[in-house]
Structure 1
Amino acid sequence: MTGHRQRVGNVPLVLLIFYTLFIAFMTLTPQQLDTSPEGPIGRVLDFFASHRLTEWLTYGRVEKLANVAMFVPFGFLLAFHLGRRRWWIGWAVGAAFTCVIEGTQATLLSPTRYATVSDLITNTLGAGIGAVLALVLMVLLPPREGPESTDRVVR
């Protein structure tokens, strides 16, 4: 093993698997989060709307920010697992994954879910941000030195 692989082993891969299952649960189930005005999200948005500093935080903006934020860890973990040379694959796979999600929402889940180009763009942006952050971290972290060789005398 070399570089960041020695330092972290398979941790990014294991986290990526669990995080991918989380994204699938959040996006590929028939029911959406409770978005009614009486639900927790509605109450928080009402609170933000009632204050001058946060009145700009509408449901549409929160949804877009949440889509970006949900895919940042995905792009980060995949890029970090793949390493410096293939970091960009985290971004590309994030885009492909969101295409699969939006396609499934548009076809199989169309009675309860809505596929949008906006979701495709924001999810891909999030995966790209995560992949770039992983690249920056891998560049900043110096490679770990291997164990020092010791001279052994055979008697």
Structure 2
Amino acid sequence: MFPVGGVGAMLLASGAAGLVALLLAVLLRRRLGWVAALAFGGLLWSLAVIAAVTLLPMYVRSGYIPAEEAQTVCSFDIGGPAPDGFWIFGGTQRTLNTLAFVPAGICLAVFLARWRWWALVTIPIGTAMLVGYSFLIEITQLELARLDRACDVTDIIDNSAGALIGAILGLLLLPLLRPWRGRPAKSPGGRLPPRP
């Protein structure tokens, strides 16, 4: 039995995650600066929304999925039958799968760019981790039949494209946002000045 599901539960989980992410950003603003703190909070919120939309059942289920009806392998039918649209937004399922990961990619790039030179390494690694997150979601959908979700390689491809597009958009926003601002200046000896 899986008693939680439906659009209401997804929106409630997303809203609660948004409040927690905003509170965390406020708490981190002095240490990271507003831009990086909001990007970090936005990244966490994006990941939570993705989890809510993909791992909560579309409907509240009172029964169970019989073993003979449960999916046993991921679908490798790339570009296969995807429903027209989503129960919350219009558009095709593939477009929405791509768009779901764009905000995470943007926030990831903006947050990691706070450490300017390390960003050359951390942004590609972080983007690869977003691809891994998509893979983990699909495996979870496969293993937990009670979610009544389908594991599909096409979703991983679409999510990965969204993460990459988001990271590129985040990089393009860096000259405007400059997340490296707002961090404490170092003294000539390399130490942080004492706090007043």
Does the TM-score normalized on the shorter chain lie above 0.5?
Answer: yes
- Compared CA separation, residues 125 and 112, structure 1 to 2 (3 A): same
**Secondary structure of the structure 2 residue equivalent to 1:87:** helix
Give distance in 2, aligned partners of 1:7 and 1:19.
18
- Compared CA separation, residues 9 and 111, structure 1 to 2 (3 A): closer
Q: Which residue of 2 aligns with 1:75?
A: 105
| Matched-pair contact (CA < 8 Å) for 1:76–1:133 | yes
Give distance in 2, aligned partners of 1:13 and 1:144.
15
Shift of 1:144: 5.1
Give distance in 2, aligned partners of 1:138 and 1:107.
39
The count of corresponding residues between Structure 1 and Structure 2 is 118
Larger Rg: 1
Shift of 1:20: 1.3
**Secondary structure of the structure 2 residue equivalent to 1:59:** coil
Query: 1 or 2, which has the higher helix percentage?
Result: 1
Give distance in 2, aligned partners of 1:18 and 1:32.
20
Deviations 1:68-109 (A, max 9, x none): 000000111112111152322342121010010000011113
Q: Which residue of 2 aligns with 1:87?
A: 123
Give distance in 2, aligned partners of 1:64 and 1:102.
14
- Compared CA separation, residues 134 and 121, structure 1 to 2 (3 A): same
Matched AA of 1:122: D
**Secondary structure of the structure 1 residue equivalent to 2:148:** coil
Structure 1 vs Structure 2: percent identity of aligned residues?
A: 35
- Compared CA separation, residues 144 and 66, structure 1 to 2 (3 A): same
Give the alignment's Cα RMSD to 1 decimal.
Answer: 2.7
Moved more, 122-131 or 58-67: 58-67
1:28 aligns with 2:59: no
Q: Which residue of 2 aligns with 1:138?
A: 174
Question: What is the 5 A alignment of 1:12-51?
Answer: 12-29=39-56, 31-32=57-58
- Compared CA separation, residues 145 and 79, structure 1 to 2 (3 A): closer
- Compared CA separation, residues 95 and 110, structure 1 to 2 (3 A): farther
Gaps of 5+ in 1: 34-57, 148-155
